Chains A and B, each alone.
Chain A
Amino acid sequence: MTVDVLLQQFFNALGLGVMYALIAVGFTLFFGVIEVVNFAHGEVFMLGAFGAMVVGTAMAGAGVEAGSVTYLLAVLAIIIIVGALFGAALEKFIVAPMRGAPDIMTLLITLGASIVVREAVMIFFPDGRNPQPFPQMIQMDSFNIGGALIKPETIICIVISAILISMMYWIIEKTALGRYIRATAQDRQAALMMGVNANRVFIITLILGSVLGSVAGLMNGMSYGIIKFNMGFAASIKGFAAAVVGGLGNMYGAVVGGLLLGFLEIFVVSFLPNGSSYQELVAFLIVILCLVFRPSGLFGEKAYDKV
């Protein structure tokens, strides 16, 4: 095994890991703050990818050079808006009406919403049943790092994720809004007693998490060049697995869980004989192991340890 191959796989794993981490942070925020398991979270991932494709194709048609910096930034901006709208709609029409209902109800209704969105894209998107080619988002040569050729998409994904996760850290730890989010996660009623507007906290949490999910969808399209209406399902399982490994409700645990899952998958694919057939198993396996041996996650502390 040479250094360049290791480096190559390291960057592949990192690129995959940050994508899982972005999805996992959403799951963990929703669980920690709003106390819902949002099964529709995979669909914002899918919508992010489809939105990027539609916007990208339209812009290329309108004469913006595909793959230029403005092109990528414009797509990113619109995807962020798509994610925010999805999150706000989810709170308004799905999560808020179920507030106070048993957890299983919220769980089922998000699952229902997920199926509706997925099937709607399949039926109403032109040729939605089939895989769609994803427009090229950047035109750049591959980076040569230590002899390994790293795709520019991978580097961009890692950079965007690092920026987004740092921003999340800043929002949660340093701003007044973040304090209200943490307070609500730790003791919702006490936060209400302080006059914290919980409804605002809920909708903002859903918007933040969904934006991360939609950007992850864009990153998925960039990395693989092909997207499909049902891509959200697998992504949500991976993201959920990563969140469980990190301890549901623990944002930093979710980031670590995502990276861990990315590295494990790439390890299995590249270093085990016939490994790629087992890639999809990794997520399930570590969820099962985690639930059996560390139900509160790798960094599990006490029950109040949220966000």
Chain B
Amino acid sequence: MLKLVNVSTFYGSVPVLRNVNIHVPKGSITCLLGANGAGKTTTINTILGFVRPSAGEVFFKDNFIAHASTEDIIRMGIAVSPEGRRVFPKMTVEENLLVGAATDKDKARVKRNIERAYTMFPRLGERRNQNAGTMSGGEQQMLAVSRALMSNPEIILLDEPSLGLAPLVVNYIFDTIKAINEGGTTILLIEQNGFKALQLADRAYLLQKGEIVAECTENTPEAKEKFKEIYMANHTKKDE
């Protein structure tokens, strides 16, 4: 569904992504792991058209999107829950959701989607008229995910949904991610702390200093185990 082929991205003359190949098949949960500064968020920004790759191509449903506008990319069916949640702090929960539906002209469907969000996260329903900036981190993350779902995306890019959240809340968010995926939405999950994400994932990539250093393309225990070993080795190396 979403494919990055030999993508290289520069900030100025500094390479941030080098020859990155990622394939997110339809219906999968694909996980992109990597330490701080590995290029995870740049990958997202490249997919969304905020930065242009200097080489390579991004495909979405067999369309080239590397040079499309962000608005068109969102319209095609990609949605994002950005790193740090980025909810609109001085707008209510409901207004945040409505902005999430900026590309949807069908009012009845927008209304249904809002109700769906409140069913999925009853907490959001209780706080629908509260300013998003006054909510807890977990609630803001729920809002960020729900807001991304408002545009009826075929794929959601989740950028570190567990960042700064308590373990219990993380479990809750991850359960929801699984449920969203089972509802038919493809997911690209980007995480720094990968073990939890790996349990969920069908596929996984490990990004290090802008390069994919390991990938796990089969959803089998052996393949995952092997990937985990590489990931662990990387992880501990980083910690030293």
Contacts and interface: CB of A to CB of B under 8 A. Distances in A.
B88 A192 contact: no
Interface stretch (B89-97, B161-169, B179-187, B215-223): B89-97
Interface of A: 176, 179-180, 182-183, 186-187, 189-197, 304-306
Interface string B82-107: 10001111110001001110110000
Contacts of B95: 179, 182
B151 A195 contact: yes
B130 interface: no
Contacts, number: 65
Given A179-B95, A180-B102, A304-B133, A193 B71 contact: no
Contact of A194 (B50, B89, B133, B151): B151
Nearest to B110: A176
A33 to B, nearest CB: 13
Contacts of A182: 88, 90-91, 95
A182 B98 CA distance: 12
Nearest to A305: B90
B102 to A, nearest CB: 5
B133 A192 contact: no
Contacts of B90: 182, 186, 304-306
Contacts of A179: 91, 95, 98-99
B86 A183 contact: no
Contacts of B102: 176, 180, 191, 194-197
Contact of B99 (A191, A304, A306): A191
A194 B99 contact: yes
A99 to B, nearest CB: 14
A304 B89 contact: yes
A224 B10 CA distance: 58
Nearest to A197: B71
B48 interface: yes
B208 interface: no
B86 A193 contact: yes
A280 B103 CA distance: 48
Contact of A183 (B48, B74, B75, B99): B99
Contacts of B147: 194
17 contacts: A176-B98, A176-B102, A180-B99, A182-B90, A182-B91, A182-B95, A186-B91, A189-B86, A190-B82, A190-B86, A191-B102, A193-B48, A193-B82, A193-B86, A196-B71, A304-B133, A306-B90
B234 interface: no
A240 to B, nearest CB: 23
